[in-house]
Amino acid sequence: MNLKYLYVWESDKKKNLYNTLVKKITSKNLDDKVKVLSTKYIGITGKKSIIKIMPENITYTNFNETEDIDKIIDSHFINNKVLDEFIYITDNKFAKVKEKDKYYKQLRIVLRNSGYIDPENINDYLARDGYKALEKALFKMTPTDVIEEIKKSGLRGRGGAGFPTGKKWEITKNVQSDIKYVVCNADEGDPGAYMDRSVLEGDPYSVIEGMTICAYAVGAQYGYIYVRAEYPLAIKRLQMAIDKANEMGLLGNNILNTKFSFNIEIRLGAGAFVCGEETALIASIEGKRGMPRPRPPFPAISGLWGKPTVINNVETWANIPVIIIKGSQWFSSIGTETSKGTKVFALTGKIKYPGLIEVPMGTTIREIVFDIGGGILNNKKIKAVQTGGPSGGVIPEEYLDLPIDYESLQKIGSMMGSGGMIVMDEDDCMIDVAKFYLQFTVDESCGKCAPCRIGGKQLLEILKAISSGKAEEDDITRLKRISFAMKNASLCGLGQSAPNPVISTLKYFEHEYIEHIRDKKCKTGKCKDLITYTINQEKCIGCGACALRCPAGAISGEKRKPHNIDQLKCIKCGECYLTCKFNAINKL
């Protein structure tokens, strides 16, 4: 029964390694001891081929696929000796805890239960150390103890701003007030970000437990989870979780038969990205128009209905139970000097293995893209990585070895934000990227303050002009001046960070802007208005297929004679290019 499984992953499409191994296992009569299987994803990327032997969980790589195979099989399966020269161990130097994985760079704290438990069944959560943290806090710690632990852990807000969580709780605790609130910001609005959604759908109890511990620590009685209405499954599972926790006495009045009471209600968003900003979120819960208000005073002192309010992001809450159980020292051994713990990223874009990843702070972008994400799709060249969603900037190739933490990304003009990470390759146009993000922020701006309301629209119009060949020389100056005003004079984070995509693409890819403006060219072909389609007079045989297809009637010519495209009529749809079987259409 002691069957061993030999999993093979190789970049070779012809599966040569797999076939070799199958043959060798058979030839060495190991068929009843070893089963060879191929796998589409072995967890490690960036190598030519990897084999993993289970159940002992040994991974080998960097071996020669013809010469070293016998050595490996003989040593490992016949002599039962692990071959050190090919063992693959990763250095996970920013995770100095025993739970770190030998092979993988990820360390799943926030995602610890996601995918392992039925979120609609509280028993699953309880079995995986659920509510042990609340027990410890309620019965073995004082509120001050809890706050000290969170402070010592170094946890910083995961919503993007990175404010030290323990400090925020302490400020709220120290305000004298009969009523205090604890709020979870689950209005995840960044396009392409879905970390919070996964936590809410996969492990809603972790958020509830985190909020309950905070309520105990700061002296709050009421909690709100503000979820965007576009997450119906998350809302459903959250509500079920709240109801179940209430039923079991883990939430509500007299939790676990103590004097401590804490009630949570869900509040839905209504399709406004700006309501992810904490003061706009507060206005929304209060029933008012979701517009930010000036800070100070900060919500920790005067927030919801003027009462002290702790507002934290879903991911921050999910970290709390682990910090309480495993201790602040454990948590602070993960990450860098200034940024402790892990961060969940939604790795998307032109990457081989998109998905959610959770890495210790300090992991570099290169590691994420190549060692975790599997590198660029179709083996194209990487151009930049965009982080932080519409508030962030692009990180060009020369900065890929930057460790990820709050400060280092801001220094080069981007930010970690809530965790969106979009990988871009040589086919992505930076003006198109900036335009996409500006379209979003202009749409979502609340309109209260002039710099964001008018400045954002101006930026967008200029970017549209640039991408359609109608820009002027002065437009780069305009972009810079407007971005400067927006960054410094906008009322809230949305407006202050809306110009970041423009500023950072201008900083690192100014040549692309100049090409678009001066030469009216878009090298990637993304800006359709800048593409010119012409017919190669040598290659064209005059079949007329393109002319038939053209929706604008822009192609003309006699039968069997080379045709011509009238540029004034051409709408750049590209149909002719797709139709021509003779490669006679030039796309410039």
Partner 1 sequence: MNKLNEKIKLKINNKVIEVEKGITVLEAAKYAQIKIPTLCKHEDLHPTGACGICVVKVEGMKKLVRACTTPAENGMSITTHDAELHEVRKNVIELILSRHPNECLTCLRNGSCELQKFAEEFGIREKFFKPMVLEKPKDLSTRAIVVDSKKCIGCGRCVEVCQNIQQVWALEFINRGFEMRIAPAGDILLADSPCIKCGQCSAHCPVGALIEYEETDKVWGALRNNDLYPVAQIAPAVRVAFGESFDLPPGTITTKKIYALLKSIGFKAVFDTNFGADLTIMEEGTEFYERYNNNPEKLPLITSCCPSWVDYLEKYYPDLIENFSTAKSPHQMVGVLSKTYFAEKNKIDPAKIFMVSIMPCTAKKYEISRTDEMFASGYQDVDVSITTRELVRIANSGGIDFVNLPEEECDEILGKYTGAGTIFGVTGGVMEAAIRTAYYLFTKEKLKEIELNEIRGLKGIKTGVIKLNGKEIKVAVAHGVGNIKEVLDQVREAKIKKQKQPYDFIEVMACYGGCIAGGGQPYQVSNKLRTQRTEGIYKDDRQQPIRYSFENPMIKKLYEEYLEKPLSVKSHKLLHTKYKARPIYYK
Partner 2 sequence: MGKLNLEQLKQIREIVKNSNKNEILVSLGTCGIAAGGDKIYEILKQEIKDRDLENVIIVKKTGCLGLCFCEPNLVINTPGLPETVYGYVTEDIAYKIITEHIMKKNIIDENVIFIPSNDLISFKEEK
Binding site for partner 1 (CB under 8 A): 272, 274, 289, 291, 293-294, 296, 442-451, 453-458, 461-462, 474, 478, 481-482, 484-485, 488-491, 496
Find the shortest distance in angstroms from Cβ 160 to partner 2. Answer: 20
How far apart are alpha carbons 381 and 387 in whole angstroms?
18
Find the shortest distance in angstroms from Cβ 235 to partner 2. Answer: 11
How far apart are alpha carbons 435 and 466 in whole angstroms?
10
Find the shortest distance in angstroms from Cβ 445 to partner 1. Answer: 4
Find out whether the peptide bond into 297 is cis, omega within 30 degrees of 0.
yes
Find the shortest distance in angstroms from Cβ 45 to partner 1. Answer: 37
The one of partner 2, partner 1, none whose footprint includes residue 123, by CB under 5 to 8 A per kind, is partner 2
Partners of 226 in the β-ladder: 185, 267
Q: What length is written for the chain? A: 588
The one of partner 2, partner 1, none whose footprint includes residue 80, by CB under 5 to 8 A per kind, is none
The one of partner 1, partner 2, none whose footprint includes residue 454, by CB under 5 to 8 A per kind, is partner 1
Find the shortest distance in angstroms from Cβ 450 to partner 1. Answer: 5
The alpha carbons of the chain give a radius of gyration, in whole angstroms, of 28
Position 101 contacts partner 2 (CB under 8 A): yes
Position 397 contacts partner 2 (CB under 8 A): no
Position 256 contacts partner 2 (CB under 8 A): yes
How far apart are alpha carbons 252 and 385 in whole angstroms?
44
Residue listed under structure tokens 């004298």: 176
Find the shortest distance in angstroms from Cβ 344 to partner 2. Answer: 8
Position 107 contacts partner 2 (CB under 8 A): yes
Of residues 185-214, which lie at the interface with partner 2 (CB under 8 A)? 194, 197-199, 201-203
Pick between residue 302 and residue 534 the one whose CB is nearest to partner 1: 302
Pick between residue 420 and residue 456 the one whose CB is nearest to partner 1: 456
Containing 317, the helix (H) or strand (E) segment is helix 314-326
13, 80, 139, 538: which one binds partner 2 (CB under 8 A): 139
Task: Give me the amino acid identity at 359.
Answer: V
Pick between residue 113 and residue 490 the one whose CB is nearest to partner 1: 490
Pick between residue 117 and residue 449 the one whose CB is nearest to partner 2: 117
Find the shortest distance in angstroms from Cβ 192 to partner 2. Answer: 12
Question: Helices marked H in 473-588 — which ranges?
Answer: 475-489, 493-497, 500-508, 510-517, 545-549, 575-579
Pick between residue 198 and residue 386 the one whose CB is nearest to partner 2: 198
Position 329 contacts partner 2 (CB under 8 A): no
Find the shortest distance in angstroms from Cβ 297 to partner 1. Answer: 8
24, 47, 71, 128: which one binds partner 2 (CB under 8 A): 128
How far apart are alpha carbons 206 and 380 in whole angstroms?
40
Position 129 contacts partner 2 (CB under 8 A): yes
350 to each of 127, 214, 367, 369, 422, how far by Cα in Å?
38, 39, 15, 10, 8
Position 263 contacts partner 2 (CB under 8 A): no
Q: Identify which range of 103-111, 311-319, 388-396, 536-544 contacts partner 2 by CB under 8 A.
A: 103-111
Phi-psi region of 419 (alpha: psi -120 to 50; beta: other; left: phi over 0): left
The one of partner 2, partner 1, none whose footprint includes residue 54, by CB under 5 to 8 A per kind, is partner 2
Q: Which two tokens stand for residue 143?
A: 């509120």
Position 358 contacts partner 2 (CB under 8 A): yes
Pick between residue 58 and residue 446 the one whose CB is nearest to partner 1: 446
Q: Identify which range of 48-56, 463-471, 521-529, 568-576 contacts partner 2 by CB under 8 A.
A: 48-56
Strands 394-396 and 222-227: unpaired
Find the shortest distance in angstroms from Cβ 501 to partner 1. Answer: 17
19, 20, 24, 35: which one binds partner 2 (CB under 8 A): 35
Task: Give me the amino acid identity at 303.
Answer: G
The one of partner 2, partner 1, none whose footprint includes residue 100, by CB under 5 to 8 A per kind, is partner 2
Largest CA distance in the chain: 91
Partners of 533 in the β-ladder: 587
Q: Which two tokens stand for residue 502?
A: 């423009």
| Contact between residue 295 and residue 283 where contact means Cβ atoms under 8 Å apart | no
Helix (H, G, I), strand (E, B) or coil at 578: helix
| Contact between residue 299 and residue 292 where contact means Cβ atoms under 8 Å apart | no
88, 163, 298, 353: which one binds partner 2 (CB under 8 A): 353
Position 14 contacts partner 2 (CB under 8 A): no
Containing 126, the helix (H) or strand (E) segment is helix 122-127
What string of H, E and C letters represents the secondary structure of 324-378? HHHCHHHHHCEECCCCECEEEEEEEECECCCEEEEEECCCEHHHHHHHHCCCEHH
Strands 555-556 and 564-565: antiparallel
Find the shortest distance in angstroms from Cβ 330 to partner 2. Answer: 11
- The sign of the torsion formed by the CA atoms of 400, 403, 405, 409 equals negative
The one of partner 2, partner 1, none whose footprint includes residue 448, by CB under 5 to 8 A per kind, is partner 1
How far apart are alpha carbons 319 and 330 in whole angstroms?
12
Binding-residue total with partner 2 (CB under 8 A): 73
Pick between residue 129 and residue 397 the one whose CB is nearest to partner 2: 129
The one of partner 1, partner 2, none whose footprint includes residue 29, by CB under 5 to 8 A per kind, is none
What string of H, E and C letters represents the secondary structure of 407-445? HHHHHCCCCCCCCEEEEEECCCCHHHHHHHHHHHHHHHC
